[in-house]
Chains A and B, each alone.
Chain A
Amino acid sequence: GAGVSQSPSNKVTEKGKDVELRCDPISGHTALYWYRQSLGQGLEFLIYFQGNSAPDKSGLPSDRFSAERTGGSVSTLTIQRTQQEDSAVYLCASSKMDRERDTIYFGEGSWLTVV
């Protein structure tokens, strides 16, 4: 597609359940990022995929969080045993990894509410 696509756009889940959030990056973009944004706050880096390299998972807040990127394209962020503090907007972004003129583009986000 033309832009970064995320689904679902909204998800309400019960505490303790697992959730999966999906990101479809811009075609041809080799780098994919996940960020988390709590209400009114800045962007918290979670994980970064670049091509076939091992992902940078340094931002994942706990082992309940994991992410995969299949075939170098679509990515899934999984949160196991959700807690109320996991409620946030989860933003996916992608970039071309062009060292000369790199730019990162965001999706609309997946709003997660844990009740």
Chain B
Amino acid sequence: GQQLNQSPQSMFIQEGEDVSMNCTSSSIFNTWLWYKQDPGEGPVLLIALYKAGELTSNGRLTAQFGITRKDSFLNISASIPSDVGIYFCAGYDNYGQNFVFGPGTRLSVLP
């Protein structure tokens, strides 16, 4: 079935730095979602993208739906300690009629 790849797998950054992570697929997706999971919690939706080329911001977060519909990126500006967690991308492919999740990017923020 479809698979999503996320890079990097993990990253360590200094507080205040900007972060960029991306998600790629071998097939076209119609929806891209970005989630953050804190330790001991369920994933929480950060940003949803529904149209190729769409660029959406949510506070310090910005995400874009790639023009090819096979990728998406998530940027976090001016990182803070509470940004620590696992960031999952997910896509909805109406051929598969199911959501597919990436393996996650684990973010650590050093004070």
Contacts and interface: CB of A to CB of B under 8 A. Distances in A.
A103 B97 contact: no
Contacts of A95: 99
Contacts of A104: 33, 45, 90, 92, 99
B50 to A, nearest CB: 5
B73 interface: no
What's the dominant secondary structure at chain B's contact region? Answer: strand
Interface in B65-101: 88, 90, 92, 94, 97-99, 101
A43 B103 CA distance: 7
Contact of B45 (A33, A56, A105): A105
Contacts of B106: 40
A50 B44 CA distance: 22
A45 B90 CA distance: 12
Contact of B33 (A33, A56, A99, A103): A103
Contacts of A105: 45
Contact of A102 (B42, B44, B92): B92
A42 B88 CA distance: 8
20 contacts: A33-B99, A43-B43, A43-B88, A45-B101, A91-B42, A91-B43, A93-B99, A95-B99, A99-B30, A100-B50, A101-B31, A101-B48, A102-B31, A103-B33, A103-B45, A105-B45, A106-B35, A106-B43, A108-B41, A109-B42
Interface of B: 30-31, 33, 35, 41-45, 48, 50, 88, 90, 92, 94, 97-99, 101-104, 106
Interface of A: 4, 33, 35, 40, 42-43, 45, 48, 50, 56, 91, 93, 95, 99-109
